[in-house]
Structure 1
Amino acid sequence: MKLLVGLVWLLSWLPFRVVTVLGWLIGQVIAALPTSRRHIGEVNLRLVLPDWSPAARQRLLRQHFVAMIQMLLEYGYCWFASRDRLKALVRIEGLEHLRALDGRNAILMAPHFTGLDLAGLRVSLETPVVSIYSVQKDPWLDAFFRAKRLRFGTGIIFARRQGTRPTLRALKDGYRLYYLPDQDFGHRDSVFVPFFGVPAATIGGLSRMAAATQAAVLPCYPRREADGYTLVIEPALTDFPSNDLVADATRMNAVIEAQARRQLHQYFWLHKRFKSRPPGEPDFYGK
């Protein structure tokens, strides 16, 4: 693992366009391999894009593998780039929407797009950020990831297993929550609402935390471009949360779907987004 970290450090010295080309080359190879991740991606795209031809979905899947490999190679920038270089690599569009909420609690709703970690670190240079992370099994790797996420002293992080109380406390203390709400965490605390027309187990944490802290919710997403990323911050959702958890989850998924349709190849399709099923429905992915 330390050898891989050293390789990523070396990649951090390369220009963004060179990493782009390397990612394209490696991604084309990885996309052609009959891996379990490729199977998951094929299932997901067949579910969410049923009107597309198989050939069109395969082209999109290859593009997605390229985007994912490029993201992995770009972690060198996330872990080692200076403040100035990070600001040059990740621009922010719509920062005025966040600035307008100075003095008010705010949640940045950030779905799983490539570049999400770069974007999270970048926005922490503009406002103190709190985020939630999954503890790594390898203690050295976990300590390394924590150190790199906190290396600018512009935020704090809490492990998912700590629950939401520390995060809510940080929100009330003026930190902005960078929150990723769009993966399948099982049936607990989830409701089934449409995502690309498919019932998806969706956690209600966004509306619960917004209600508990009277926080505004601003959808955001990173968009990979030829010379870096743009973090797009959209205006705060109006009349959110409501008193209806299902309605809130439905609205959240609709917002994320609209973001994903703008750049389908950059949304995460290689995890089992539809793993949990309503009672009686079969498993999509096979055993």
Structure 2
Amino acid sequence: MAPAKITLTVEPRGKPIRKLPKEVEISLNGSGEELHIALSEATGTSIHRLRITKGSDRTVVPNSNGTTIKDTGLRDASVIHVKDLGPQIAWRTVFIIEYLGPLVIPALFLFPLRPFLYFNFSQPLADPSSLQQLTCLLLTIHFLKREFETIFVHRFSAATMPAHNIFKNSAHYWALAGFNISYWVFRPDAGAATETPNAALTYVGLALFAFGELANLNAHMVLRNLRRPGTTERGIPSGFGFSLVTCPNYFFEIMAWTGVFLVSQLSWSVLLFIAVGGAQMWAWAAKKERRYRKEFGDKYKKKKCVILPGLC
């Protein structure tokens, strides 16, 4: 017996969508992805620009092959609202652009742009100190790793985001990690400009940076392996760090940046980046903890601390 088909009433939400049909027929066993494809083909609009919600309660009909129309609660003659989200950009591209700024800015500030940035200091300018060059190297390693993970490690639950958000998303990294840290740490009078740095700060900082980067990469590999390629399925992460906090990847990220802070001889500009980024990561981690508890129930071992062990 063929699966029952239903007819949904289609209404635009927001600005009108060209060629949007007034009705669409689909099988109850059809997926949310199939519904998105049908409306995308009818309108000539990218599937990633369409947001479909139920008219009854405004809940989203997911663009997922794992959710059937029956699962969503839609029935014959149900109303769905379709919104055009506007031009989209791939999440992978977003991250590549975000990290590109702080990847190249430190070396530019330290070498070719140095005479132009610090023209008001006594001339001729002293060459960058060994510690300033080391700090630049740590920044470069960190963001090269980020780019590597973006291209080869991360699997994204959402394919795209609104294109105009790229400027907002990039501002944090380009401004705070790129311009802010580079300008202040590489100044001729910065703490890192010394040729006799505090050895304890330097070596402890290097150890924290190396451990934090490697542990962070390991956590990202654990999260990657929870999701099969091409799917948006979720799982409960386990492994090094995950028994302590919800998001050990954020914990190790902060650890690595603390290492940069120490190597820079306690530059306030690095501390500012850690504080702003840490606050945002805490919000993301708290949201993920709530989602884990809701999605997995008793199967999930609840965490009191979402990022820093002992600091909840």
Of Structure 1 and Structure 2, the greater strand share is in 1
TM-score (norm 2): 0.22
Find the structure with the greater CA-based Rg. 2
Of Structure 1 and Structure 2, the greater helix share is in 2
